[in-house]
Structure 1
Amino acid sequence: MTEQGTFTRDMHYLPDRITADGRDGWPLEPGRYRLVIARACPWANRAAIVRRLLGLEDVLSMGMCGPTHDERSWTFDLDPGGRDPVLGIERLQQAFFARDPHYPRGVTVPAIVDVPSGKVVTNDFRQITLDLSLEWRAHHRAGAPELYPEPLRAEIDDVAEKVFRDVNNGVYRAGFAGSQAAYEHAYRDVFGRLDWLSQRLAGQRYLVGDTITEADIRLFTTLVRFDAVYHGHFKCNRQKLTEMPVLWAYARDLFQTPGFGDTIDFAQIKKHYYVVHRTLNPSGVVPLGPDLSGWLTPHGREDLGGRPFGDGTPPGPPPDNERVPSVG
């Protein structure tokens, strides 16, 4: 938090990468690593979606923390005995301390952990999904889509940076603002960018090109949380997502696409924000709404053309142990 009350995100993450050639000391080996997420977290949600779309379930296992945490760490309270069955730990913090006993920063998800050593390799959410697309290519399922196609990378990066600054992180700058001026500045950034996105998407089905890319995934995880959390809890209340016709149709289109909506657990999302953020919600009361049935209504975006998976195919159903409750 700055002196002016502006929320500033700590963007320093463990920079190591798991690569096909092992140049960072972490060679890509099927079954060696475990992706740790929390369903509640939008940054972790990105990694879960990309893993699903690319069909990496059999080569990269996934551990799931519960929706709440304390000042120390995310915890594995959803697992029997409160312990991750593969890593054998109760707190994600233990994997960070295995890497660095004096690790000084926040324990965040997503994180990829080296199972043999128990050490976290990286928690750089920005790079994790790109590496799943590029470095893990040899292990993609047949028919996996190109989420970061080389000819469109500059445009994807440009759009994704705007979305991150003003939307993904913008809602947090509004929600955690420590002054009226900081809040109003963030609020205007959020809705100014949402208006820009509405104009961009009015005539095209996806953000960049005619297929789903990394840019769409990064926007979706904020939009899907907007009415449930950000509209009220973070005071981003000019409009609800359901009151922005283009973005609401776009979000429903993605939600109904295999690999997107089947990673979303609205109950865990609401529990995380309303229970953990006691400075914003001292009572810890979790709202019952909003009505979720609209997510499954027709969106009409097919009329804009586009091919969701390009020359590829949709992913199959999620593994039984990774299914989330349906909104239907």
Structure 2
Amino acid sequence: MVDDATTDDEGQQQGVYLVEGGSFERDQSYIDDRITADGSSGWPVEAGRYRLVVARACPWANRAIIVRRLLGLEDALSMGICGPTHDADSWTFDLDPGEVDPVLGIPRLKDAFEARFPGYPRGITVPAMVDIPSGGVVTNDFRQITVDMSTQWTAFHRDGAPELYPEALRDEIDDVARKVFEDVNNGVYRCGFAGSQEAYDEAYDALFARLDWLEERLATQRYLVGDTITEADVRLFTTLARFDPVYQVHFKCNRNKLTEMPVLWAYARDLFQTPGFGDTIDFLHIKQHYFLVHTDLNPSGVLPKGPDLSGWLTPHGREELGGRPFGDGTPPGPPVEGEVVPAAHSAG
């Protein structure tokens, strides 16, 4: 394995590795501390103590934005939003007045990592949970953050919050999510950052084989696991939302567009039109991040004008399959003030 020393998919100096044959391998070494209800981790769940730092451009952070919305954690867990473009050093708070996060008082997310781990050697990634009193990062393990929102923050869930990680379905959710991660969520990056034709072909074939598998699975059921929205749906959705605007062209995932896969396109529209999903998607930030930050893939820095986004709001017909999006719960209310995606950045 060779450390290529280039930036990873979110533009950070986090080891990107090319294995023999030029295959892309994501560095998955994250800070694995957890914020738990009983505090046994050393980080107890407390309203107002932590700040979730995200970027709307990032699919991994987008998961956390969606789960926080669905569960109604806005009052208990504040959110800082980084801009879509940055250098190789850190995500930055350039959307805020003075380019400083108003709660943490820092201009760069890296400052929170350094506050806890001086000389932090790995990538400065989002989402990240930051302890407000100390100013130090707690965790950037995107896989665990959303699960813990569902299982550890229950005291602060809104009335009517859905069960996104129901205990009886966890094994199946984990299995589906693992397949989706390997071949789709991470698979698009394996295509885009492949260092050889062989590695690209392998990733491309795995990606579209899994999308075909999903097309078949979702032809007869509205959601990926059970008859309600779960963590598995959240994890797939953020990749689907970026597929045609970015991955299809920028990462050479071009067997077909999402809009040309009838079942997945209807499924994606169904979720997009569900409160808590589409209202978190900032298509402009998404395109700015990938096309302006990945200068190795887009050296001209030209930002595409398309694609046409109006199709996201067309009828999807998935109600005919049954299912109840929120189970016995209810939809979340509208986004809180300061967290609304500008109309010009969305499909609305």
Corresponding position: 1:15 with 2:27: no
For the residues of structure 1 that align with 2:317 and 2:45, how far apart are their CA atoms?
A: 41
Question: Which residue does 1:32 correspond to in 2?
Answer: 49
Shift of 1:325: 2.5
- State the secondary structure of the residue aligned to 1:181: helix
Structure 2: stretches of 5+ with no match in the other structure: 1-17
1:84 partner amino acid: D
Moved over 3 A (4+): none
Deviations 1:60-86 (A, max 9, x none): 000000001111000000001100000
- State the secondary structure of the residue aligned to 2:249: coil
Corresponding position: 1:224 with 2:212: no
Identical counterparts, % of pairs: 77
For the residues of structure 1 that align with 2:22 and 2:294, how far apart are their CA atoms?
A: 17
Deviations 1:292-328 (A, max 9, x none): 0000000000000000000000000001200003323
Question: Which residue does 1:149 correspond to in 2?
Answer: 166
- State the secondary structure of the residue aligned to 2:22: coil
Corresponding position: 1:79 with 2:124: no
1:312 partner amino acid: G
Shift of 1:258: 0.1
| 2:268 maps to which of 242, 251, 254 | 251
For the residues of structure 2 that align with 1:71 and 1:224, how far apart are their CA atoms?
A: 25
Question: 218-227 or 17-26, which moves further after superposition?
Answer: 17-26
Corresponding position: 1:47 with 2:27: no
- State the secondary structure of the residue aligned to 1:232: helix
Deviations 1:270-311 (A, max 9, x none): 000000000100011110000000000000000000000000
1:57 partner amino acid: E
Question: Which residue does 1:69 correspond to in 2?
Answer: 86
| 1:91 maps to which of 108, 111, 119 | 108
Deviations 1:111-130 (A, max 9, x none): 00000000000000000000
For the residues of structure 1 that align with 2:113 and 2:162, how far apart are their CA atoms?
A: 32
Corresponding position: 1:308 with 2:346: no
Shift of 1:3: 3.1
| 1:236 maps to which of 231, 253, 265 | 253
Question: 17-26 or 161-170, which moves further after superposition?
Answer: 17-26
2:191 partner amino acid: A
For the residues of structure 1 that align with 2:20 and 2:214, how far apart are their CA atoms?
A: 31
For the residues of structure 2 that align with 1:239 and 1:19, how far apart are their CA atoms?
A: 43
For the residues of structure 2 that align with 1:283 and 1:99, how far apart are their CA atoms?
A: 38
Question: Which residue does 1:170 correspond to in 2?
Answer: 187
For the residues of structure 2 that align with 1:245 and 1:251, how far apart are their CA atoms?
A: 10
Shift of 1:102: 1.8
Deviations 1:122-179 (A, max 9, x none): 0000000000000001110000000000000000000000000000000000000010
For the residues of structure 1 that align with 2:75 and 2:101, how far apart are their CA atoms?
A: 18
For the residues of structure 2 that align with 1:66 and 1:283, how far apart are their CA atoms?
A: 21
